[in-house]
Structure 1
Amino acid sequence: MKLKMWGTRGSLPRAINNQYFVNLVDHYARKAEKAGLSSISDFRNAIRDGDLGDPLVFGGNTTCNEIIYKNHRFFVDMGTGFAEAASEVMAQGRTEFTIFQTHLHWDHIMGLPFFVPIYIPGNKLTIYHVHPHAPEYIKCQFNGINFPVKWEELGADIVFKQIKMYQKLQFDSLTISAFALDHPGGSFGYRFDAEGYSLAIGVDGEYKRLTPKDLGKDHVYYTNLDLLVFDAQYEMDELASRFDWGHCSPPIGVDLALREGIRNLILTHHDPRSPEEKEFRMAQQAMVHLQKQIPAYQDTWTKLNQPEGPNIYLAYDGLEFNLSKLEPRSQLPK
């Protein structure tokens, strides 16, 4: 089972203007000088190999993740990253697409009108959703005013299938189930389990409920988890002025991962106003928090054969994570 991230920004896509690009080049040129690189060739190789930073930029597309398992490929959300995926899926000759929709805020659906396969007769999209009004709110983009193409003019067959929270869907040996997140208007995470490996998409979520008791029925979706894609849009000191906005912060994800034994944590849904320096700073703050808290959970992580605690990654457009390359999980005692 593999995760591919097509879009990792939240709220709005983020473009890189000329001055920002100039500043980036200057920043990495200075890093190259400090590293003793003296030629353009050395600089180019260092950029390519990730020696000066990885990633160099996070990208600008809004949320879209793809889960790949055997012959199955599932998209979670249809942000502008969904439009970015169109070229690859068409080159692969794919004609059927399965989408799981977390919720209906604009940044999670705005890629659909630009997903080229919807205009090709014979193609089929199946959109699974929990929100009862998903068909209505997704179709309203195609009213001829907000977007020039009307819904009835699309060539592909688009089918909506409403599912219930905690309902398990089976695709061969892969199980997919939805759980509740804390977000205005309602948002739903999805957990994927197959062949002893598991990942959960946990955006958009403010994670107001953190204890097993408060999480209630949702708690089980964070247990025995190999990978959590976590909403980490804000720094901790920003959350106070953004209460009820529906997004979270890296240290909270670290605390959740430490307690539940979540082996890998990917921080995503980057704020569109956050430059790369801020994202790296937030990741560093998460690492410092991890190092302070890990002694209290040492027994848990020793049993998981991962004594340093969860691995923490910053999401970026194009990131791929192959769960099948992980060492088999040592299960925590119940």
Structure 2
Amino acid sequence: MADHANQFLVRFWGVRGSIACPGPQTVRYGGNTSCVEMLVAGQRLIFDGGTGLRALGLALLPEMPLEATMFFTHSHWDHIQGFPFFVPAFVPGNRFDIYGAIAPNGSTIEQRLNDQMLHPNFPVPLQVMGADLKFRDIDIGEIVRLGDITVENSLLNHPGEAIGYRVTWNHHSVAYITDTEHFPDRLDENVLWLARDADIAIYDATYTDEEYNHPKTSKVGWGHSTWQEAVKVAKEANVKTLVIFHHDPIHDDAFMDNTVANTDKAFPNSIVAKEGMVLNALDPDARLVCNPA
């Protein structure tokens, strides 16, 4: 991690919502569910553990022993299903600090990650993981300090609750805002607070406005937002770079190409997330470090 001591990089390992959708129609943008890695001031932060976490874990094997801090927005399946397949968690000598808010039913993030690995849902329990796992409950609004890095959070509008995060280091910030549904008559103050003056704001834009408001297949109440709302947030919050994220599994590469064109017209400093994409939070003139074909 020494090579990253003066860097603030954001790498996307999973960019989909709801369910993984690998296949020839999603190969360019990717089919894995939510997982974002940040390399900040020599530390590794991991946001969510969807199926993209499996790929991240395999990539990290040559770097062991390793340490990382993990932050979960919530525990819907598309954000935790990769955790039982995160190979570094099974290896003694590795250490992971794992943060998540207590759910409305009172369950901790440790309980929820444990429960998905119980019989009859999984062959081995969480306790077989050999790494040092430290589970930490986080309060809404609590600030986590990791050396010079601060991680803030705020409540989002999502069934069963979810929280968004804001990572700040060296006067630069990245907001991770998924899963959340916009309000019909106003912008969400919690979302605006997370995204305020952010160098990069990653936003849940699962639907288009047309899909969200469709008279026969309305998505109102499903807990997700649209790219049009993402643009409104970016403009109001003075975001430098907007990242469209949490793509609907039915949106193939051709559909996502169209989203790229539309968001670029509406907000030129926008990027549609792809698996393997790497962004530089410190340099707006060299933001895109890696953009897979």
TM (norm. structure 1) is: 0.76
Q: Please list, as runs of the form range in 1=range in 2, the aligned pairs for 1:9-48 lying within 5 A after superposition.
A: 9-17=16-24, 20=25
The alpha-carbon deviation at position 286 of structure 1 amounts to 2.5
Report the more deviating stretch, 78-87 or 309-318. Answer: 309-318
Answering whether residue 135 of structure 2 is matched by residue 164 of structure 1, we say no
Does structure 2 retain, via aligned residues, the 8 Å contact 1:3–1:68? yes
The alpha-carbon deviation at position 174 of structure 1 amounts to 1.1
Aligned counterpart, 1:311: 269
The alpha-carbon deviation at position 93 of structure 1 amounts to 1.9
Matched AA of 2:199:
D
Q: Matched residues in 2 for 1:14 and 1:130: separation?
A: 28
The verdict on how the C-alpha distance between 1:210 and 1:85 changes in structure 2, with shifts beyond 3 A counting, is farther
The alpha-carbon deviation at position 187 of structure 1 amounts to 0.7
Q: Of the candidates 149, 153, 157, which is equivalent to residue 174 of structure 1?
A: 149
SS of residue paired to 2:17: coil
Answering whether residue 75 of structure 2 is matched by residue 68 of structure 1, we say no
Answering whether residue 244 of structure 2 is matched by residue 273 of structure 1, we say no
Structure 1 stretches of 5 or more lacking a match?
A: 22-55, 291-308, 328-334
The alpha-carbon deviation at position 285 of structure 1 amounts to 2.6
The alpha-carbon deviation at position 284 of structure 1 amounts to 2.4
Aligned counterpart, 1:8: 15
Answering whether residue 149 of structure 2 is matched by residue 191 of structure 1, we say no
Aligned counterpart, 2:3: none
Report the more deviating stretch, 104-113 or 257-266. Answer: 257-266
Aligned counterpart, 1:323: 281
Q: Matched residues in 1 for 2:135 and 2:185: separation?
A: 32
Q: Which has the larger radius of gyration?
A: 1
Q: Of the candidates 221, 224, 229, which is equivalent to residue 252 of structure 1?
A: 229
Aligned counterpart, 1:151: 126
SS of residue paired to 1:242: coil
Matched AA of 2:45:
F
Count of aligned residue pairs for this structure pair? 271
Q: Matched residues in 1 for 2:166 and 2:121: separation?
A: 33
The alpha-carbon deviation at position 144 of structure 1 amounts to 3.2
Aligned counterpart, 2:197: 224
Aligned counterpart, 1:37: none
Answering whether residue 293 of structure 2 is matched by residue 286 of structure 1, we say no
The alpha-carbon deviation at position 154 of structure 1 amounts to 2.2
Percent identity between matched residues is: 30
Does structure 1 retain, via aligned residues, the 8 Å contact 2:84–2:126? no
Q: Matched residues in 1 for 2:185 and 2:138: separation?
A: 25
Structure 2 stretches of 5 or more lacking a match?
A: 1-7, 286-293
Q: Matched residues in 2 for 1:280 and 1:233: separation?
A: 14
TM (norm. structure 2) is: 0.87
The verdict on how the C-alpha distance between 1:195 and 1:159 changes in structure 2, with shifts beyond 3 A counting, is same
Aligned counterpart, 1:117: 88
Q: Of the candidates 92, 102, 110, which is equivalent to residue 73 of structure 2?
A: 102
More strand by share: 2
Q: Matched residues in 2 for 1:73 and 1:197: separation?
A: 16
Answering whether residue 173 of structure 2 is matched by residue 202 of structure 1, we say no
The alpha-carbon deviation at position 198 of structure 1 amounts to 0.7
- Post-superposition CA distance 1:286-308 (Å, at most 9, x none): 234x2xxxxxxxxxxxxxxxxxx
The alpha-carbon deviation at position 117 of structure 1 amounts to 1.3
Does structure 2 retain, via aligned residues, the 8 Å contact 1:263–1:310? no
Q: Matched residues in 1 for 2:253 and 2:206: separation?
A: 13
Answering whether residue 52 of structure 2 is matched by residue 81 of structure 1, we say yes
The verdict on how the C-alpha distance between 1:15 and 1:220 changes in structure 2, with shifts beyond 3 A counting, is closer
- Post-superposition CA distance 1:146-196 (Å, at most 9, x none): 111112222222221011122111112111011111111001000011111
The alpha-carbon deviation at position 200 of structure 1 amounts to 0.3
Matched AA of 1:274:
H
Does structure 2 retain, via aligned residues, the 8 Å contact 1:251–1:285? no
Q: Matched residues in 2 for 1:158 and 1:173: separation?
A: 23
The alpha-carbon deviation at position 104 of structure 1 amounts to 0.4
